[in-house]
Chains A and B, each alone.
Chain A
């Protein structure tokens, strides 16, 4: 340590004259003086004012700044970054398909392009200004002048730099005095070293390195793979103490995590046993309750299953379910089971004109698309499907065939509820009252095709003729 003291300190030199400061208390006087300095041919000089003094630029001969060009370049850069970023992120690297919109389209890019252009242009204006002005420069020898402190308040100064080619200690001083300033003073270089203390630099760099370490560690961890579980600072819902279905546990005596329903449990809205004809279309529930939810499967659809699947099915269910091996036979068996059920033949509720009107409306909403307005199986969907001839469409049966006409109302109700072949179950969509209304309207449709026109009253006949 002792050696450093003995070393000659270079900055312990004689202070040298850096320039002159001429003080004015009137902005107009400063402008007049500036013109004279300019005309005298000085280059390295400046004026200092508490506010931007209009007219001083011409008086000093200041050229226009290139700042607008810097700002324009920064703005363009911002726009380019924005548009390429959006293309790369949403259309190329991580294609983001949302409701069929194009992956990349200019209109959707505009807001971000605008914002980033403005942001970078603003950075250009601010940092460009600081850079061109060589700021921040916290130390300035002029600041040692007591008088110069009023430059940011109400005084106006001319500073003359000793580096100027025309500068001379006596002549320049005299020249400045001739401009009628209130005061002229000199400013000198420092005797002390303007350098920062060595330990400060060391301390700052240590603090800097320490500050970089945590984010660097995080970045490293986030960009590398690992075999061990990550540290979860906030565990979110990654680890939950809840039991999972299909696992075993020692909490319950039966060792199951999933709990079976308690005997006699009825899901909400499922208690229907007090009115079986109304809810099921049956006089009473058969022993095998599963049959009431049977929907006769589409034979063609079952046939269309790949051969391997069929084989697998057959292996899984060998003797007990021979039906699985032959879908057509299975469908026939299901239909047979349904035929044997105790279907109601009367409506389990009073039949009214209002119900008929409701049934007509519901029929037209839900059924007519396939079955046609007259129930002939010629709805628009059916017509188009037949037109396309793709072979997977089963044409709905006409209501006016002998078979369908003979079906009891309970069976028709069941078909609406659970579906048949291509027809999906409408139970979840149509409430029971409406299903019965539709059955009623369907019965009326069937009747309308079976009546001898001559038995009709005269006014109905006339009406029919007129609407023909």
Chain B
């Protein structure tokens, strides 16, 4: 049987010439399956019900507020002249950014043959889908008359009108919906073999039916696996540029306008780096408690966490560079409005938000240079929470500071969120966590088939 050495090993030590195992503990193929399926099969812990209860209440609050907004009108938000792009757009860009880590882990690391991704990719992809769901809510209700949301799509109508394809806002509609669809396909396709595992182990009638339906009759045929792997590779190759394109297009919403502080060419790469940065932080925020609660620390080792913190250092430094470069170009470009916009960001009425952003995004990831912090899960967790806060504030600073003080001092204003704004942001976390908890309970949290394929084969056959 395929089994891994039972002695506890420190997976974070680099031994030259030797590969660190991706799965620790005395695991063979069967025990990996057992470990992953346990949560779906055994009695649900009380903590899960408690967590689901709380997040479902928050989700309910979000839906209630959406109902209130639709019935009353968007005036319940703090968006008014001159800041019409307030909290909802900040939330949208924040949530879309969160999604990026999932696709990056599953697609780009797959293309680079980074086998360590197998432990985390499923949960990260799930996170992507749920984050995109949360993101989609906000522009959807931000349009004002929600019942006319179909005007965004090129559907024939009796007004004989078509949407304007030269508007980055329409590109956004296509980019985000394509991203959501492709991510969903990628996630679901990766899950088909694992759903078949759950089907074959299911005892209840309902589980057998549901897992049976969604596993599409998968029987592990090698001829099927051959096409499946090819399709997976192709989807990964398609999803990789898609990740870059989505946040690039989101940044066009800002960069194509003429507003000082938005009209900059650094936006696309800067937004993508920020998205990956916040996405990895969110993956870690979710996975550190989840691996503990679900007991999958052997599959999701400290090594995995450490690798992700290294990505966070890299992207966090890129984000810091972008902040510095924005300032430099504002000065070097000699445009007085641009210069003012950045001085105003750092020292104007929103200076508090700016400095929260800088300290969370530039300083906190640098702590990961210290190996002790990089390998201690609770410390990683704390830093990642700060990164999440910082990245939310980054979107807030970009959106609100530029709008609140543009060219004419006569049209300046100060944006204040209303209680509805704040509760909707909290509610969106409820929606996200509800979906994630349901996923943890009912779906395979770790890609079993992929983990098994990177485990050492009995008889020392190959190194994967």
Interface readout for A66-101 with B: 1 if CB under 8 Å, 0 if not? 011001000000000000011001100110101001
> Measured between alpha carbons, how far is A12 from B461 in the docked complex, in Å?
49
> Measured between alpha carbons, how far is A89 from B166 in the docked complex, in Å?
11
B200 touches A51 (CB 8 A): no
In the complex, whether B298 has a CB less than 8 A from a CB of chain A is no
Which residues of chain A are within 8 angstroms of B448 by Cβ–Cβ distance? 50-51
Which residues of chain B are within 8 angstroms of A52 by Cβ–Cβ distance? 222, 225-226, 228-229, 449, 453
Q: Quick one: which of A62, A118, A138 contacts B238, CB cutoff 8 A?
A: A118
Interface residue SS majority, chain A: helix
In the complex, whether A312 has a CB less than 8 A from a CB of chain B is no
A153 touches B216 (CB 8 A): no
Known: A28-B459, A116-B174, A118-B178. A126 touches B221 (CB 8 A): no
A89 touches B165 (CB 8 A): yes
Interface residue SS majority, chain B: helix
In the complex, whether A222 has a CB less than 8 A from a CB of chain B is yes
B178 touches A96 (CB 8 A): no
Q: What is the distance, in angstroms, from A283's C-beta to the closest C-beta of chain B?
A: 36
Which residues of chain B are within 8 angstroms of A328 by Cβ–Cβ distance? none
Known: A90-B165, A122-B235, A154-B29. A85 touches B222 (CB 8 A): no
Q: Quick one: which of A27, A109, A130, A236 contacts B457, CB cutoff 8 A?
A: A27
Q: What is the distance, in angstroms, from B97's C-beta to the closest C-beta of chain A?
A: 18
In the complex, whether B42 has a CB less than 8 A from a CB of chain A is no
Interface readout for B160-188 with A: 1 if CB under 8 Å, 0 if not? 11111110101100110010011001100
In the complex, whether B157 has a CB less than 8 A from a CB of chain A is yes
B449 touches A50 (CB 8 A): yes
Which residues of chain A are within 8 angstroms of B67 by Cβ–Cβ distance? none
Chain A, residue nearest B163 (CB): A89
Q: What is the distance, in angstroms, from A240's C-beta to the closest C-beta of chain B?
A: 15
Q: What is the distance, in angstroms, from B401's C-beta to the closest C-beta of chain A?
A: 26
Q: What is the distance, in angstroms, from A343's C-beta to the closest C-beta of chain B?
A: 35
> Measured between alpha carbons, how far is A119 from B179 in the docked complex, in Å?
8
Q: What is the distance, in angstroms, from A79's C-beta to the closest C-beta of chain B?
A: 13
B217 touches A135 (CB 8 A): yes
Chain B, residue nearest A59 (CB): B222
B216 touches A130 (CB 8 A): yes
Interface residues of A in 119-138 (CB under 8 A from B): 119, 121-123, 125-126, 128-130, 132-133, 135-138
Chain B, residue nearest A152 (CB): B197
Which residues of chain B are within 8 angstroms of A122 by Cβ–Cβ distance? 181-182, 185-186, 235, 238-239
> Measured between alpha carbons, how far is A130 from B185 in the docked complex, in Å?
12
Q: How many residues of A contact B (CB 8 A)?
A: 70
Interface readout for B405-436 with A: 1 if CB under 8 Å, 0 if not? 00000000000000000000000000000000
Q: What is the distance, in angstroms, from A409's C-beta to the closest C-beta of chain B?
A: 32
> Measured between alpha carbons, how far is A71 from B238 in the docked complex, in Å?
10
B212 touches A28 (CB 8 A): no
B231 touches A89 (CB 8 A): no
Q: What is the distance, in angstroms, from B253's C-beta to the closest C-beta of chain A?
A: 11
In the complex, whether A366 has a CB less than 8 A from a CB of chain B is no
In the complex, whether A48 has a CB less than 8 A from a CB of chain B is yes
Interface residues of B in 1-56 (CB under 8 A from A): 1-2, 28-30, 33
In the complex, whether A150 has a CB less than 8 A from a CB of chain B is yes
Which residues of chain A are within 8 angstroms of B28 by Cβ–Cβ distance? 154
Residue numbers of B with Cβ under 8 A of A are 1-2, 28-30, 33, 145, 147, 154, 156-158, 160-166, 168, 170-171, 174-175, 178, 181-182, 185-186, 189, 193, 196-197, 199-201, 212-213, 216-231, 234-235, 238-239, 241-242, 245, 249, 252, 448-450, 452-453, 457-459, 461-462, 464
Nearest first, the 6 A-B pairs at minimum CB distance are A129-B231, A154-B29, A136-B216, A89-B162, A152-B197, A48-B220
Residue contacts A-B, CB under 8 angstroms, 20 given: A25-B1, A28-B457, A50-B33, A52-B229, A62-B226, A85-B154, A86-B165, A98-B164, A111-B168, A111-B245, A111-B252, A112-B174, A114-B241, A118-B182, A118-B238, A122-B235, A122-B239, A125-B231, A126-B185, A154-B29
Query: Besides the contacts A94-B161, A118-B245, A151-B200, what 9 more A-B pairs have beta carbons closer than 8 Å?
Result: A51-B448, A112-B170, A112-B171, A129-B228, A135-B224, A136-B216, A137-B217, A150-B200, A154-B29
